[in-house]
Amino acid sequence: MRTLRIVNLLLLASIATAQAQLNLMPMPSTVQQGSGQWLIDRSFSVAVTGFHDASLEGGVQRFVAQLSRQTGIPFRTKAGSASPTLTIHAEHGRDQVQKLGEDESYELTIGSSGATLTAPTPLGILHGMETFLQLVQPSTTGFAVPVVTIKDQPRFPWRGLLIDVSRHFIPIEVLKRNLDGMAAVKMNVLHWHLSDDQGFRVESKRLPKLQEMGSEGLYYTQAEIRDFIAYAHDRGIRVIPEFDTPGHSRSWFLGYPELASSSGPFTLDADGPGSVTDPTREETYKFLDKFVDEMAKLFRDAYFHIGGDEVDGKYWDANPKIQAFKQAHGMKSNQDLQAYFNQRLQKILAKHHKTMIGWDEILRPDLPKTIVVQSWRGQQSLATAAQQGYSGLLSFGYYLDLMWPAARHYTIDPMSDAAATLSAEEKSRILGGEGCMWAEWVTPENIDSHIWPRNAVVAERLWSPQEVRDVDSMYTRLNAVSLHLETLGLTHRSARMHMLHRMAGPEDITPLRVLADVVEPVKDYTRWDDSKGPIDFHAPLIRMIDAVYPESDMARRFGKLVQTYIQSGYKDQAAEAQIKTFLIAWRDNDAKLHPLLGQSFLLQEVTPLSESLSAIGATGLQAVDYLDQSQPSPESWRTQQLALIDQAKARKADLLLMVVAAVQQLVESTGK
Q: What does the binding site for a second copy look like in residue numbers (CB under 8 A)?
A: 23, 42, 69-74, 76, 137-142, 216-217, 443, 445, 479-480, 483-484, 486-487, 494, 497-499, 501-506, 538, 540-542, 546, 598-604
Closer to a second copy by CB, 125 or 579: give it: 579
* CA distances in angstroms from 56 to 49, 50, 86, 279, 487, listed in the order given: 11, 11, 15, 45, 22
Can the peptide bond before residue 453 be classed as cis, meaning omega within 30 degrees of 0? yes
Pick the catalytic residue from 310, 605, 611, 668.
310
Closer to a second copy by CB, 603 or 659: give it: 603
**Amino acid residing at 385:** A
- Which among 145, 98, 146 has a CA at the least distance from the CA of 121? 98
As measured in angstroms, the least distance from the Cβ of 579 to a second copy is 16
CA 129 to chain CA centroid, nearest Å: 22
Give the Cα separation of 580 and 12 in Å (integer). 32
Give the Cα separation of 305 and 346 in Å (integer). 10
As measured in angstroms, the least distance from the Cβ of 138 to a second copy is 4
Closer to a second copy by CB, 543 or 638: give it: 543
Closer to a second copy by CB, 608 or 671: give it: 608
Closer to a second copy by CB, 42 or 205: give it: 42
Closer to a second copy by CB, 57 or 336: give it: 57
Residues of the chain by 3-state class (helix, strand, coil), percent to 5: 45, 15, 40
- Which among 392, 467, 374, 383 has a CA at the least distance from the CA of 422? 383
Closer to a second copy by CB, 109 or 607: give it: 607
As measured in angstroms, the least distance from the Cβ of 216 to a second copy is 7
As measured in angstroms, the least distance from the Cβ of 68 to a second copy is 9
As measured in angstroms, the least distance from the Cβ of 364 to a second copy is 40
- Which among 179, 654, 229 has a CA at the least distance from the CA of 455? 179
Closer to a second copy by CB, 336 or 572: give it: 572
- Which among 465, 435, 467, 466 has a CA at the least distance from the CA of 451? 435
As measured in angstroms, the least distance from the Cβ of 101 to a second copy is 34
State the DSSP string of 24-66: -SSPPSEEEEEEEEEE--TT--EEEEES--HHHHHHHHHHHHH
Backbone angles phi, psi at 59, to 5 degrees: -60, -40
- Which among 335, 423, 356, 410 has a CA at the least distance from the CA of 383? 423
As measured in angstroms, the least distance from the Cβ of 309 to a second copy is 27
As measured in angstroms, the least distance from the Cβ of 473 to a second copy is 14
State the DSSP string of 372-412: EEEESS-HHHHHHHHHTT-EEEE-TT-BGGG---HHHHHH-
Q: Which positions ≥6 away from 287 have C-beta within 8 Å?
A: 207, 256, 259
Closer to a second copy by CB, 518 or 603: give it: 603
As measured in angstroms, the least distance from the Cβ of 603 to a second copy is 8
DSSP 588: H
As measured in angstroms, the least distance from the Cβ of 467 to a second copy is 24
Strands 106-110 and 86-90: unpaired
Q: Which positions ≥6 away from 582 have C-beta within 8 Å?
A: 558, 561, 617, 659
Backbone angles phi, psi at 467, to 5 degrees: -75, -15
Active site residue 310: yes
Closer to a second copy by CB, 101 or 142: give it: 142
Q: Which residues are paired to 5 by β-bridges?
A: 30
Give the Cα separation of 222 and 224 in Å (integer). 5
Three-state SS for 192? strand
- Which segments of 271-413 does DSSP mark as H helices, in order? 282-298, 314-317, 320-328, 334-351, 379-387, 406-411
- Residues annotated as catalytic are 310
